[in-house]
Structure 1
């Protein structure tokens, strides 16, 4: 469902896969080849949600912005895992946020990072680039490994291709 709010309409194009039961509200901008999967809600009613190119919002995610001039900014080639909650945070490029994680207001995840499933990144937390982040509350465990970086790269590519398959299936 695509809903305008305060005279702002979500912005996307034919390269984006948006699942039939996903909801985009207000000031939401999707970059080229990015996708929003089933039962996810992106509510840009107070501020902007900006998603870069080749990024994926997996199933049942909740993205919302606060009323204090804090957007959600997601870089290119980012995977947001199933059931993740993002609130007014910044996630740099080539990053994977594991399933069920929560990233709170003002948190900043550096590029090429991996946030493990179920992690709670507290408000205003600064995560350096190339970090493996785990726990609740989250802590930087170590630098990501080459294996982690390959998984991050594989995952966004997989979902860009899967999104194209879904779009072809919708046309048939």
Structure 2
């Protein structure tokens, strides 16, 4: 294949991904949003997805420094559910799944294989555990403020509020508040250092 043909095939693939994202589930996209590879983006009617200017959603292992288990997935599957991602973020091979609301600030780094889930999926149903099969959780809002860095393979659960400038160490599980300008690590994540 000539260089011209290769270049045109690459261009057409990018256009096909852009067309899929723009028209399949119509998120609101800022200027210069970059999709590297084809993510899974899905929202039901009445759901909302907004991605800010110059944010990268990476679904390709090709140039990423760690092994990414799967492509990025951004899903809103409840009426009035919302995902808002700020500007200048870099999100790699991450699942962001909202029943209620997930808000990610500006300039955030989210490493591969991270799960950001505002709901359990099923209600707890302590009085009738068999009902877990047919029930659904309501969800609790997640807020990730500006300039947050979330390491590889983290899990961010409903009700979490991660303060500005904080770092979540690789493999951590966050449920609840995280102070700003701090490092949290572990399962459950606890304060390691404050700046």
TM-score interval for Structure 1 and Structure 2 normalised by the shorter chain:
0.7 to 0.9
Aligned to 2:194: 143
Q: Hey, what does 2:151 align to over in structure 1?
A: 98
Q: 2:66 is matched with which residue?
A: none
TM-score, L = length of structure 1: 0.74
In structure 2, which of residues 54, 58, 64 is the aligned counterpart of residue 33 of structure 1? Answer: 54
The answer to whether residue 94 in structure 2 is matched with residue 61 in structure 1 is yes
Q: Is 1:48–2:65 an aligned residue pair? A: no
Taking the aligned partners of 1:98 and 1:105, their CA distance within structure 2 comes to: 18
Residues in 2 aligned to 1:62 and 1:104: alpha-carbon distance in whole angstroms = 12
2:189 aligned with 1:117: no
Deviates more, 1:25-34 or 1:92-101: 25-34
In the alignment of these two chains, the number of paired residues is: 134
RMSD over aligned Cα atoms: 1.3
**Whole-Å Cα distance in 1 between the matches of residues 159 and 89 of structure 2?**
20
Q: Is the 8 A contact 2:94 2:115 kept in 1?
A: yes
Q: Name the TM-score, length of structure 2 as normaliser.
A: 0.65
CA contact (8 A) 2:42 2:75 kept: yes
Unaligned stretches of 5+ residues in structure 1: 145-172
Which whole-Å deviations, capped at 9, do the CAs of 1:40-91 have from their partners, x for residues lacking one?
A: 0000222111001101111x2100012xxx3110000001111100012210
Structure 1 outlier segments of 4+, above 2 Å: 1-4
Local SS of the residue matching 1:21: coil
Q: Distance in 2 between matches of 1:14 and 1:23?
A: 20
* Residues 89-142 of structure 1, C-alpha deviations (whole Å, 9 max, x = no match): 2100011000100000010000000000000012xx111111100001110111
- Which has the greater radius of gyration? 2
Question: Secondary structure of the residue that 2:84 maps to in structure 1?
Answer: strand
CA deviation after TM superposition for structure 1 residue 13, in Å: 4.1
